[in-house]
Amino acid sequence: MIAIFGITMGYFISKTLYFNIVMLNTDSRINYFDNTMTYSATETPYSDTLMLNFGSGINHFDSTITYSATEMPYFDTIILNFDSTINHFDRSIKHFDNTIIYVGNRLRYIDSQVSDFSLVGERISLYDRQKPAFYSTNTPKLTADDR
């Protein structure tokens, strides 16, 4: 069991990056995940992928991911993959073209600064920047009691 899991990553690349993947993979249950990642490049990367993969439940996931580049990347993706329940998910994505979130079970609470993203596994989309308002074809809108 991992009580506190903190990672800070910083990248500065002065030459063209053809392929860049950052992947974190753990099979243990995480009670608190505090993650800060910053990526910057002075030239266009052809591929930039950040993948976080967890095999079990997350009680609190607090992530801030910042991406900056002087040119538009061809492919810029963040992938968050959880196989089990997330009770609290705090997230701020500063600049990503594509965000893919997959949760195999249930997501109870999201607080996000991202205006629009899709939860692939349960087809939930979040459209409100300020509060966790949910829209889904197969999942009811969360209320204060659900949190």
pLDDT surpassing 50 at residue 117: no
Residue 30 within a domain: yes
Residue 49 within a domain: yes
- Contacts of residue 78, Cβ cutoff 8 Å, sequence gap at least 6: 49, 50, 51, 65, 93, 96, 98, 99, 100
Token output for 14: 């002065």
pLDDT surpassing 60 at residue 29: yes
The confidence score (pLDDT) of residue 115 equals 43
Residue 147 within a domain: no
Residue 141 within a domain: no
Counting the structural domains of the chain, the total is: 1
Model confidence, pTM = 0.48
The confidence score (pLDDT) of residue 126 equals 41
The confidence score (pLDDT) of residue 79 equals 66
| Residue keyed to tokens 């949910």 | 134
Q: What value does the mean pLDDT take over residues 89-97?
A: 60
Residue 45: domain span: 5-12+21-134
- Mean pLDDT over each residue of the chain, to the nearest integer: 55
CA separation for the pair 38, 30 (Å, rounded): 22
Residue 139 within a domain: no
Mean pLDDT is highest, among 60-64, 65-69, 113-117, for 60-64
Measured torsion, CA atoms of residues 92, 95, 100, 104, in degrees rounded to the nearest 10: -10
Least confident of 4-13, 91-100, 108-117: 4-13
Q: What value does the mean pLDDT take over residues 95-118?
A: 56
Residue 144 within a domain: no
pLDDT surpassing 60 at residue 15: no
